[in-house]
Amino acid sequence: MTTYPAGFILTARRVGWLALWLSVLPAGRAGDAARPATTAAYDYAEPKLLTGTLYEIGSHQQKVLYTFRRIAVPSGTVVHVERQFYRTNGLLAAVDKVVYKSNRLVFYQMQDFQARVSGAVRIAPDPEHPARQQIFISYGPGLIPPPGYAQNLPPDTVFDDTVYPFMLAHWNELMRGNTVNFRFVSFEWERTFAFHFVKTAEFVQQGRTVEQIRMAPDSLLIGELVDPLIFIVEKASPHHVLSYIGRTTPRIQRGSSWKYLDAETVFHYPPDATVNDTNDAKNGNL
């Protein structure tokens, strides 16, 4: 099993958003069949531990800014995930807490301990139309996010921790050169934005063939505010995301304020890391 970006929930100047699993476009029509972007074939409980390093872009992986850990703890049909970002002095800078139930996202919370802001995403059935799902997105100052308000959940909605599973589910489409569309959650705007994946290159890196996948907003206006994210993914199964360049969850201090950070995130896989790359996961629609 492979993994997901270190974090990028979309802001006015970031995909975050990216991580980063991330508007002038509509958030979704009332009649849409609501479904988060997940797949029953994907196991969010694996790997139990994944680590990474966030480097300053252009430093040739010499200047470390943060380190990353993703910890997954299954309990029956529920999986609790923590995505932790640490400063170089070992202090916790930010944390994402995610809950999946029956392999679907039900709750996600971000806390930035440096900038002292937080956000949350909750997905629940519409009480008036139980077949539909609603999404609650909230963001604000302090470490306890506000409750948010109900919106229709657009199809193929993605956030930081589900970016990779969505990419994997559409792997064959990407390899054929197709554009894959989805919507990405924005905390600060408390809505979703239209984004897409597209394969932009294939080359050899450290002796193995890799694919370069670009994630960018559909809107030209949003494109002026948000730089694309560039993922380097191994071509061979299990299609590990080796690294990505783009927005991350923790911010960087500039003077007396905390600014959004673009970084090069490199993932470190355990020796026995495997990916659920069944045909359903690789070819199915989320």
Mean pLDDT of the chain, nearest integer: 84
Beta bridge partners of 199: 213
pLDDT at 216 over 60: yes
- pLDDT of residue 20 exceeding 50, the answer is no
Q: Does the pTM of the predicted model rise above 0.85?
A: no
Q: Which residue has the higher pLDDT, 26 or 72?
A: 72
Please give the pLDDT value at position 225.
78
pLDDT category at 197 given cuts 50, 70, 90 is: very high
pLDDT bin (cut points 50, 70, 90) of residue 221 is confident
- Show the tokens assigned to 133: 């799902």
Token pair 């999946």 in the structure block, residue? 100
**Hey, what long-range contacts does 98-102 have (CB within 8 A, 24 or more apart)?**
98/161, 100/38, 100/44, 101/77, 102/77
CA distances from 7 to 185, 199, 245, 249 (A): 12, 21, 11, 5
Separation between Cα atoms, residue 200 and residue 44, nearest integer Å: 27
Distance between CA atoms of 135 and 147, rounded to whole angstroms? 11
Confidence band for 31, pLDDT divided at 50, 70 and 90: very low
Tell me how far apart the alpha carbons of residues 12 and 247 are, in angstroms, rounded to a whole number.
Answer: 12
Dist CA 20 CA 14 (whole Å)? 8
Q: What is the mean pLDDT of residues 108-119?
A: 96
Banded model confidence at residue 32, pLDDT cuts 50, 70, 90: very low
Amino acid of residue 54: L
Residues 191, 207 contacting (CB under 8 angstroms): no
Mean pLDDT, rounded, for 67-93: 97
Residue 266's nearest CA partner among 49, 11, 66, 47 is 66
Q: What is the chain's alpha carbon radius of gyration, rounded to the nearest angstrom?
A: 17
The string of DSSP codes covering 139-164 is EEESSS----EEEE--TTEE-GGGHH
Q: For 244-258, how does the pLDDT look when each residue is reduced to its tens digit (9 = 90+)?
A: 999 999 999 999 999
Write the pLDDT tens digit of every residue in 122-160.
999 999 998 899 999 999 999 999 989 999 999 999 999
With cut-offs at 50, 70 and 90, classify the pLDDT of residue 192.
very high
The runs of H, that is alpha helices, within the chain are 163-169, 171-175, 220-225, 279-283
Check the CA dihedral 245-248-250-252 and report its sign: positive
pLDDT of 42 reads 83
CA proximity to 65, closest of 138, 133, 1, 7: 7
Q: How confident is the model at residue 271 (pLDDT cuts 50, 70, 90)?
A: confident
